[in-house]
Structure 1
């Protein structure tokens, strides 16, 4: 039996093993990891796909912001990684995780990710408004995608900063 669960209910070692299997042990060198350094995933949007006792897929979402060149911070959610066990890829698990996470965020939520436009386009992600965005490391501009209420402006992506009251 398969079920969708909050990712926080899954042992961190199991999540890390799945991410290593899906993306390799060098995945921490990717630019996306630089953007979300020091952050914790957003619990309500980060999900696990479990088959029996086995974690076969997961999605994480992160609180990030676009630090616009005009000095404004625009809060967003960074989607990813979306990981599926290599032997279960192509079975729709990733699609179900994406759909559930987007539904939990809300249709107009400001979401962004780094990924294949050919895959993520089916979920409404595109690069139409991200041409002026920058990342703190190497990336392909065509793979910087967004959907929902995101601005068309220039700026640098980074972790969301919340000020203590």
Structure 2
């Protein structure tokens, strides 16, 4: 049995160790890290999967980003990922449960950008199970190498303009 809890309840060192095991030592060289560089994850959209024995089985994080449209507008979005599952627990539905919980939280969120989720991922998987597509991302650019077909988005506020995706600072609560 798996319990989903806020990621903020988990020791960050345990999360980093899981990410290393799931994605390997070169994970920080990936383009996704450049897109969200310098940003803190969005606590309300981060979750962890814990096994019955309390061991960390998986995590999902989301990040504030924006699409700087070539016409000058900047559209807030939320970058989904990484979705990480302990290697021996992959294919057990943990990643799917984490995604479903995050999407539920995003749908209920008033956070700017929560209606425009984006990710770099497998279109066959994320399209089939979660409705992510590359339909509106063809004009988007990222600060590093990526496959255009893997640049996916979901939500009613997904912009269709051409532009560059990069980090976005969240406003501090007053």
Q: What TM-score range do you get, normalising by the shorter chain? A: over 0.9
Question: Would the aligned equivalents of 2:66 and 2:166 in 1 still touch at CA under 8 Å?
Answer: yes
Match of 1:29 in 2: 29
Does residue 144 in structure 1 map to residue 145 in structure 2?
A: no
After superposition, the Cα gap between the structure-2 partners of 1:163 and 1:71, relative to the gap in structure 1 and judged at 3 Å, is farther
Match of 1:125 in 2: 132
- The CA deviation string for residues 80-99 of structure 1, in whole angstroms up to 9 with x for no partner, is 00000000000000000000
Match of 1:65 in 2: 66
Match of 2:111 in 1: none
Secondary structure of residue in 1 paired with 2:20: helix
Q: Counterparts of 2:13 and 2:117 in 1: how far apart (Å)?
A: 27
Does residue 153 in structure 1 map to residue 161 in structure 2?
A: yes
> Could you state the TM-score of these two structures normalised by the residue count of structure 1?
0.96
How far residue 162 of structure 1 moved from its aligned partner, in angstroms, is 5.2
How far residue 75 of structure 1 moved from its aligned partner, in angstroms, is 0.2
Match of 1:114 in 2: 120
> Could you state the TM-score of these two structures normalised by the residue count of structure 2?
0.91
Does residue 16 in structure 1 map to residue 16 in structure 2?
A: yes
Does residue 135 in structure 1 map to residue 136 in structure 2?
A: no
Match of 2:92 in 1: 91
Q: Which runs of 5+ in 2 are unaligned?
A: 109-113
Give the number of equivalent residue pairs. Answer: 165
Q: Counterparts of 2:73 and 2:163 in 1: how far apart (Å)?
A: 9
RMSD: 1.6
Secondary structure of residue in 1 paired with 2:40: coil
Q: Counterparts of 1:85 and 1:163 in 2: how far apart (Å)?
A: 33
Q: Which runs of 5+ in 1 are unaligned?
A: none
Q: Counterparts of 2:170 and 2:102 in 1: how far apart (Å)?
A: 23
Secondary structure of residue in 2 paired with 1:44: helix
